[in-house]
Amino acid sequence: MCPPSAENSLTRIAPGIGRGEDDERMEKRLLLAFVLSAAILLAWSVIFPPPQRPAVPEPTPVAETQKPPERRDKTAESSASSEDFTTAESAGPIGPPEELAEATAEEHVDLANAVMDVVISNRGAAVTSYRLFGYDGDDGQPLDLVQTVPLDSVARPLQLITADGPEEALYLIERIVDGAIFRWSDGRGNQVEKRVALSGEGYGLDVEIRAVGVPAASRVSVGTGMRDLAEVEQNSRLALWGEGVVMADGEVKRLKRRKVKERQILAPMSVAFAGFEDAYFLNLLRPSDGVEEVWVEPLEFSIGEEETQKVLRISAALSRGQFRGQLLGAPKEYDLLQEIDHGVEKTLDFGLFSPISVFFLKALRWIYGHVGNYGVAIILLTLGIRILLFPLMHTSTVSMRKMAKVQPKVKEIQAKHKKKKSDPQARAKMNQEMMALYKEEGVNPMAGCLPLLVQLPLLWALYKLFLSAIELRHAPFIWWITDLSAKDPLYVTPVLMTATMWLQQRLAPQAGDPQQQRLMRMMPLIFGIMFLQFPSGLVLYWLANNVITIIQQEITLHIVGERRLGSGRGKKKAGKGGKA
């Protein structure tokens, strides 16, 4: 059977799935260890979310031993050139080497379409603003993916990084259809040309860079950090922002900004993209030609008297002084990323049960299309899931009730063999008697647990969905909840969630030894404290799940006859009086 403590543990993880009674001790201990271990792992991953990929190793070239000799030699030469920033081989001069091409004042080029507005300065020919029209920042203006970093070493997107740091030259500008050409030359053979244009009506900029002379050994920056966050989002345990992400040799590698202690140089065989991501947005450089090195450098700056903030500076080395590809700044919206493809869709990761999460996401959006409120959509989605799962919950509860009826006989068998419990033969005989009893009474000891375990993937898929769905960002629900991706500012929903967990526990029959019951009574408080900082959309789901489960639990207990004429709680009180 499903041990009572395991049932209560599952109830705390998946509120209200069912209850259980004691069983044979060995089975009880094994199942209890399994379920409590799962509960501890789940709680630990919630409080301290682990990185989705292993940390990138020390800054040595990736898969260096797998490279053919020719490629390995070229990588080594490229690395040395990048370190020394000496003149690298290029395709040839861009213009007359002796011609000076440099502007006298800073200018800006504005490239915009229906979904974004990008501003490029001729100082370094770098992106100074990358705003997405469909998404607001904390100031109410279109979200800007370029982070404000008060450091001289900050490198903006598309800015070249030389031996002396980020390039600050003033480029001449030639405007073209949906883009611009930036040119610079010092008259001594060092030249750079950047062609930047909108990638049609979607997100992204088409980029082509040619460099001759010393700049040919430069690196093109993806940026330094990504977007400015409000204090609430920065302090959230679950917020991921400005994290590095690289897809190299077909594998997505994630680099946590707080865990990168020193410069890392990746030299994979192929790079699909390199850049930044957080829970809802990404900023990537997607080369169409080869990129031999990707540099990830940690930077740090003060934001208060005693507080510092870490950011990453990510860049890609030019290949023979050239780069062709795309700068992509976009929301991590499921359908959009699937359309972009080429590995970018892997940046939105719902975890082990991703197909289930995607199904729930589509269902959530379909419901939202009819009700126009994501908070209401979450409640209705939860209701639909609980209705579908009700047969499982009912079956589990009925099985538990059957097990409860045979418990006196089970305890008699256990008492009979109590003195010989250390004897393997006596214990085997006891197990045989118990299995014969189960068969005679028509009871399956595991029938109560299996339906509960089936539901865990659904609950985990919903948890991952509500943490990552950009649809909930800045989505209002009711009155004080104006953003379902942020915590409840008044903590009303976490308090109600804790109260419903406690009520659910009180209404259900309690089983297990006193120590287990004391532990279970603490679970609502533990989960309530843990959920204080969770996104209100996730807390709303858990609250709705608790309320609906309490109702279903009462319906089941009425069906099996435990709530008729006040028999449920009345018997419990009478039992206590009898014991006294």
Output the CA torsion 554→559→562→568 (10° steps).
30
Residue 390 pLDDT: 86
**Residue type at 394?**
H
- Average pLDDT value for residue range 143-150: 92
Cα angle, residue 239 at apex, residues 150 and 158 outer, rounded to 5°: 45
Mean pLDDT taken over the chain: 78
Residue pair 119/108 in contact (Cβ under 8 Å)? The answer is yes
Radius of gyration of the chain (CA): 31
- Going from N- to C-terminal start, the domains of the chain cover 4-29+358-560, 64-349
Q: What is the pLDDT of residues 157-177, one digit of tens each?
A: 999 999 889 999 999 999 999
Residue pair 507/550 in contact (Cβ under 8 Å)? The answer is yes
* Coil, strand or helix at 432: helix
Residue 565 pLDDT: 46
Output the CA torsion 36→468→251→326 (10° steps).
-170
Residue 176 pLDDT: 94
Q: What is the pLDDT of residues 250-277, one digit of tens each?
A: 899 999 988 999 999 998 888 999 999 9
Q: What confidence category does residue 109 fall into, taking pLDDT thresholds of 50, 70 and 90? A: very high
In 441-510, DSSP assigns E strands to: none
Q: What is the pLDDT of residues 428-479, one digit of tens each?
A: 777 787 788 777 777 776 665 666 677 788 888 988 898 889 999 889 998 8
Q: What is the pLDDT of residues 566-580, one digit of tens each?
A: 444 444 444 444 443
Query: How many residues are present in the chain?
Result: 580
Closest CA to 324 of 206, 211, 213, 245: 206
- Do strands 116-121 and 108-112 pair parallel, antiparallel, or not at all (unpaired)? antiparallel
Q: What is the pLDDT of residues 308-348, one digit of tens each?
A: 889 999 999 999 899 999 999 999 999 999 999 889 999 99
Q: What is the pLDDT of residues 384-418, one digit of tens each?
A: 998 988 887 777 777 767 776 777 777 777 777 77
DSSP 248-270: ETTEEEEE-TTT--S-EEE--S-
Closest CA to 284 of 275, 294, 295: 275
The CATH T-level fold of domain 64-349 is: Beta-galactosidase; Chain A, domain 5 (2.70.98)
513, two tokens: 């030894």
Residue 554 pLDDT: 84
In 73-147, DSSP assigns E strands to: 100-101, 108-112, 116-121, 126-136, 142-144
Which residues neighbour 218 within 8 Å (Cβ) at sequence distance 6 or greater?
85, 160, 161, 162, 167, 211, 317, 318
- Average pLDDT value for residue range 153-158: 94
